[in-house]
Amino acid sequence: MYAVEQVSQSTAPAEGAATEATGAATAPGVRLTGLRKTYGEVVAVDSIDLEVADGEFFTMLGPSGSGKTTTLRMIAGFEEPDAGRVELAGADVTGVPPYDRQVNTVFQDYALFPHMTVAANVEYGMRVARVEKADRASRAGEALEMVRLGSYGERKPSELSGGQRQRVALARAIVNRPKVLLLDEPLGALDLKLREQMQIELKSIQGDVGITFIYVTHDQEEALTMSDRIAVFNEGRIEQVGTPAEVYEQPGNRFVTAFVGISNLIERDGRQFTVRPEKVRILDNGDSADGLHTESGHIRDVAYAGMITRYLVDLDAGGELQVVHQNLETSSAEALEQRGRTVRVGWRPEHTVAVEENPPESGGAGSGD
């Protein structure tokens, strides 16, 4: 009845990851080996292994308490692991203090000096490092140009919008030319439209500067939009690593299925399967069902959401499906009239994925973010 897709959960960089001009592979931008961190009886990070390719936009995605921020802080050097190793560009930096690692961090709260101009904020780290004044000004100007704020150098942070302040914080982080830039929920304080705009800008800036970005978020859409690859964290462990399409289309287990996007979970013949709402069609009379798996049911609820309508269908064989329909010609009144209607639904068998149970716990429950 169903075509079941097999899911690979390798943490190795995707094919096409950065290589030297000669074609020989470079060392990963970041390599974590057996990394573990506990706080008393709580296992915040549970012996994870991970490689992030040089120049990759890599996202650590997970709910609050899943261990993603603790992992980021160990890469930065703000936290020392209880076990395991952190490597940057092939060099072991596990015991190296933060200021001696070629890593910078961008936080949600910007941490700009309010009494300084934008240019002075960007130059601050170079001034501490005793970079020559002329070189500081030149590099700060280049960094501000990269983040589309070239004419804002003389303004104060209070004269900028939230998105502009975030871009100043980004310019300050990249001006020192780190090998790796760590971003801890940097867009969390922005409103929805500005956050969506900054997602596009961040991805563009990362492509321009070529620095390895490691991004922490709990927002699935944000991760899917920007990332080359994603690691899904849960209770201190990594559940799956893959490209956005792999993680979304082929979730590796029940947790990933439930956490990343909206997914329908149904059981037939003693096995559980998932199919995404946008893959399911409500078939009108006369519609061909060739090549589709079909089931009958009735529409229990309808939610009109402008560009799309969401239908909740109770299946006669048991279970329910959420179906997403794009409103190309459908009005809200027409959509809402569908409530209670008996329907057939169908989807292509290759769009179903078998759902595996989560792997057994290997330690105490994690609660480090």
| CATH code, domain carrying 40 | 3.40.50.300
pLDDT tier, 261 (very low <50, low <70, confident <90, very high otherwise): confident
Looking at the predicted structure, is the pLDDT value of residue 330 above 80? no
The whole-angstrom separation of Cα 20 and Cα 367 is: 39
Is 231's pLDDT higher than 60?
yes
**Predicted local confidence at residue 360, as pLDDT:** 46
Same domain, 251 and 266: no
Asked if 295 and 242 sit in the same domain, the reply is no
Distance CA 254, CA 163 (A): 36
Its domain, for residue 221, covers 30-102+178-256
| Whether residues 236 and 297 fall in one domain | no
214, 270: one domain: no
Q: Is 158 left (phi over 0), alpha (psi -120 to 50) or beta?
A: alpha
pLDDT at 8: 36
Pairing of strands 264-268, 308-315: unpaired
- Bigger pLDDT: 9 vs 73: 73
If one compares 357 and 122, the residue with the highest pLDDT of the two is: 122
- Does residue 172 lie within any of the structural domains? no
pLDDT at 363: 40
249 plus 326 within the same structural domain:
no
* Same structural domain, 224 and 244: yes
Which three-class secondary structure state does DSSP give residue 334? helix
**How many domains is the chain built from?**
2
Residues near 26 by beta carbon (within 8 Å), at least 6 away in sequence: 18, 19, 20, 54, 89
The verdict on residue 111 lying in a domain is no
- pLDDT value of residue 304: 86
- Position with higher pLDDT, 129 vs 179: 179
Give me the pLDDT at residue 322, please: 94
Query: For the chain, what percent of residues have pLDDT higher than 70?
Result: 89
pLDDT at 331 > cutoff 80 = no
> For residue 123, is it within any domain?
no
What is the C-alpha separation between 80 and 73, in angstroms, rounded?
Answer: 8
Residue 276 — pLDDT band, cuts 50, 70, 90?
very high
Does 309 lie in the same domain as 280? Answer: yes
